[in-house]
Amino acid sequence: MSELRGNDAAAAGIALAGSGPFAVPVPRWTWPTDLPRPLVSALGFLALTLALHLIQFGNPVLHVDEEFYLLVADHMRHGALPFVDIWDRKPLGLFLLYRFFLLFPGDGVVTYQLFGVAACAATALVIERLAREIASPAAARLAGAVYILFLPVYCFGIGQAPVFYNLPVALAALRTLEAWRARDERDFVRGGVQAMALLGLAIQIKYTVVFEGAAFGVVLLARARALGWNAGRLAGVALLWCAVAIAPTLAFLAVYAALGHGEAFIHANFLSILNRRSDGMASWSRLGSEMLGLVPFWLAILWADRRLAPREGHDPAALWFLRLWAIAAFAGFLAFGSWYDHYVTPVLVPLSVLAAPALAQVPGARWRCVLLLGFGAIASVVVMADSIRRHGTKAQADHVATAIRSELHGGCAFVFDGEPAFYRMAGSCLPGRYPFPNHLNTWTEAQALDIDPNLEVARILMARPDVVVVAEWWPFYLPNWETRAIVGDFLARGYERYASVKLGTHTFGLWRRRKG
């Protein structure tokens, strides 16, 4: 038996157990060099996302939107129909996604959060692939990490809508770029169809995706024009791509129309947003702080443009496309004027890609990585910790739910102020079609609903709910003083305050029906 030398063993990827002539070759696995690069990146992104959000897992009151999506999904499995039985303006696809999460056993909160983590890591992987168009592989991988680190900075919780639709949009961007380079016309058209199909799915999670979809369509049509297509062919392929992109939305509209609820679908999905009012200086203050948080991106992109132009082998058209994508995503963010923090998160995808060249490990330039990655890491932890401080913990939410449940006697609670999660956690029925508190208690939503909020609040209170939850702190959003006055009048005449509970930095008064 010949002896296997140490150098030969190392080259073969094995280790020697024992020594001398009795040494036994044992397979040795070295990580990460023995794994394909995409798998290494995927595992790294997943680990980073899990570690970053560990303190949030299981908390049912991370963000009011996520609570509401889960509440709607929970009632959908009992037959409720969004826009008819429970009103909101989010696309049906988002609620169906949360309904899918509830197909899995266990705590629905943990389930949607785990899917959110997976979607975040998967999006980072696509960002890495796109960033390799304009940067080195190492810099591209850091660009994916930048996306993960900056998402919490903009209060996306773990299951906000953008964390799910950013993935199909990023995939659509990649497919658009591949279609641009297709040499066969059939591959070009097919690539456009696939990109638009992905965008169609994303649109059914948030309608603002249409801005990015329009930009991708313009890019593809510009390519077709450069290939010499005449006006007729351009019009035909444009109609095809548009049809694919809007097909899911039209299909849902057709279903609602067949059920006799087409008008409700159209109002909730397309008209109500036009009647929502701005909250004035608060929205401008949010916009200012959000732009300040993006300064590291602006610096990285500007520096990269001046000093780190794409090297040989990188396609200049890719950089042009990525810039157009960023502009479109930013237009979608600015379009409706409310500028809530999580609305920024779609912009982070193209910005992370464009920042990749500035993350290259070149001599004397490591400060760029420190600035972008360091700021993202510190800011995300600070924002998440502060969010939990302000919004509350699972233990606090459980305490509030228990206090509400203790006074439910076969009726419903009415959460005029507070968290939509209270309904689900307390096991309460819904007192009406508008369980999202801000729809009835804010000035901004007063004209956007399909009913008069004053009449709806009065109707609910005339039905004598068992428990009414009201804020004992100054509301963050501009209040609807009319509905608030109606609630105060009913409480004074027929209810008694039986508890004051705290959730984060907010205190809520719990009122029960007065006996006798």
pLDDT for position 365: 62
Q: Do 12 and 147 lie in a common domain?
A: no
DSSP tag of 136: -
Q: Do 363 and 449 lie in a common domain?
A: no
pLDDT for position 27: 40
Domain that holds residue 234: 37-388
Could you give the 3-state DSSP secondary structure of residue 512?
strand
pLDDT for position 370: 78
Q: Do 164 and 60 lie in a common domain?
A: yes
**Which runs of consecutive H residues, i.e. helices, occur in 184-278?**
185-203, 209-226, 231-258, 262-266, 272-275
pLDDT for position 473: 79
Using an 8 Å Cβ cutoff, are 58 and 395 in contact?
A: no
CA distance 138 to 201: 31
CA torsion angle for 57, 63, 68, 74 (degrees, to 10)? 0
Could you give the 3-state DSSP secondary structure of residue 211?
helix
DSSP element (H, E) containing 296: helix 295-307
Q: Do 91 and 224 lie in a common domain?
A: yes
Using an 8 Å Cβ cutoff, are 101 and 111 in contact?
A: yes
Long-range contacts of the stretch 249-252 (C-beta < 8 A, 24+):
249/91, 249/200, 249/203, 249/204, 252/91, 252/92, 252/93, 252/204
Q: Do 332 and 425 lie in a common domain?
A: no
Q: Do 434 and 335 lie in a common domain?
A: no
For residue 478 the two structure tokens come to 């501009």
Alpha-carbon distance values, 480 to 338, 437, 475, 501 (Å) = 17, 11, 10, 23
Alpha-carbon distance values, 319 to 29, 91, 130, 208 (Å) = 38, 32, 10, 23
Q: Do 379 and 400 lie in a common domain?
A: no
Q: Do 301 and 436 lie in a common domain?
A: no
Q: Do 220 and 240 lie in a common domain?
A: yes
Q: Do 382 and 402 lie in a common domain?
A: no
CA distance 222 to 228: 10
Using an 8 Å Cβ cutoff, are 470 and 419 in contact?
A: no
Q: Do 171 and 195 lie in a common domain?
A: yes
| β-strand partners of 510 | 469, 499
CA distance 254 to 265: 10
Pairing, β 413-415 against β 506-513 = unpaired
For residue 442 the two structure tokens come to 């804010």
CA 481 to chain CA mean position, Å: 31
Number of domains the chain contains? 3
Last residue in a domain, options 347, 372, 388: 388
Last residue in a domain, options 359, 388, 417: 388
What is the chain's pLDDT, residue by residue, as a tens digit (516 residues)?
344 344 444 433 334 434 444 343 434 434 455 567 888 999 999 999 999 999 999 999 999 999 999 999 999 999 999 999 999 999 999 999 999 999 999 999 999 999 999 999 999 999 999 999 999 899 999 999 999 999 999 876 799 999 999 999 999 999 999 999 998 999 999 999 999 999 999 999 999 999 999 999 999 999 999 999 999 999 999 999 999 999 999 999 999 999 999 999 999 999 999 999 888 788 888 899 999 989 889 888 887 655 444 455 567 889 999 999 999 999 999 988 788 888 999 999 999 999 998 887 665 566 777 778 888 999 999 999 999 999 999 999 999 999 999 999 989 999 999 999 999 999 999 999 999 999 999 999 999 999 999 999 999 999 999 999 999 977 667 899 999 999 999 999 999 999 999 999 999 999 999 986
Intra-chain end-to-end CA distance of the chain, in Å: 98
Cβ atoms within 10 Å, residue 254: 12
DSSP element (H, E) containing 24: strand 24-27
CA 402 to chain CA mean position, Å: 30
Q: Do 359 and 409 lie in a common domain?
A: no
pTM (2 decimals)? 0.90
Last residue in a domain, options 388, 403, 427: 388
